Amino acid sequence: LRTGMPEVIFASGKTIEHVTAIFVRMAQAGGNVLATRVSPECAQAVLAAEPRAVHHVTARCITLEQAVPPQGKGTVAVVCAGTSDLAVAEEAAVTARLMGNTVELIADVGVAGIHRLLAQRGSLQSARVLIVCAGMEGALPTVVGGLVNAPVIAVPTSIGYGASFGGLAALLGMLNTCSPNVCVVNIDNGFGAACIATLINRM
């Protein structure tokens, strides 16, 4: 899987010093570098040490682009239901772009207002792979899956309250999908969704 993929740091649970040191070392190796789940403080430290890096605030990611990855053949659509799921959707979008994909982000479409979603049918159907992120709108991947002929990667998010149980409700809803072109990754795993989408988009 390594060919043409960036080096990746999962920053959550690591000290700022540790993340900075790994980032700098990876940057010196000459390839692209991605850090995910980066706190604002950590981002500041990394950018101080490696000024060429870019901080994607909503995505909580830092990227360093210094190499050209293999290019995806089509567009990866990243879909989410509202501003609350945007962090996960942006993690997916930033990751997919760094991995050589053209990304179209379609935010603020949900199943409770199906017309806004249907209005995006053109964009959805022209994508080669789709990533759909949702916390309270656990059915969004199923509805999108019914509108397109391409593979859909569903990302449950931990956004919600009460009986959302940290993303469990969305996860179960997505696994029980009736659209047979939908598969699922871990709660909040925008990064992983982008990896699979990249592999598919290169085929």
For position 187 contacting a second copy by CB under 8 A, the verdict is yes
For position 128 contacting a second copy by CB under 8 A, the verdict is yes
CB atoms within 10 A of CB 184: 20
For position 147 contacting ligand AMP by CB under 6 A, the verdict is no
For position 147 contacting a second copy by CB under 8 A, the verdict is yes
Which residue intervals of the chain are DSSP H helices? 16-28, 40-49, 86-98, 114-118, 121-126, 140-147, 168-175, 190-201
Binding residues among 3-22 for a second copy as defined by CB under 8 A: 3, 12-14, 18
Say how many CA atoms lie within 13 Å of 40 toward its Cβ: 2
Q: What distance in Å separates the CA atoms of residue 78 and residue 92, rounded to the nearest whole number?
A: 7
Q: Is 161 exposed, middle or buried (0-12, 13-18, 19+ CB in 10 A)?
A: exposed
173 binds, among a second copy, ligand AMP, Mg ion, none (CB under 5 to 8 A by kind): a second copy
60 binds, among Mg ion, a second copy, ligand AMP, none (CB under 5 to 8 A by kind): none
Query: Could you tell me how many residues make up the chain?
Result: 203
List the structure tokens of 188.
């909040």
Which residues would be at the binding site for ligand AMP (CB under 6 A)? Answer: 8-10, 36, 82-84, 178, 180, 189, 191-192
Which residues would be at the binding site for a second copy (CB under 8 A)? Answer: 1, 3, 12-14, 18, 81, 83-84, 110-114, 118, 128, 136-140, 142-143, 145-147, 149-151, 153, 156, 158-173, 175-189, 191-193, 195-196, 199-200, 203
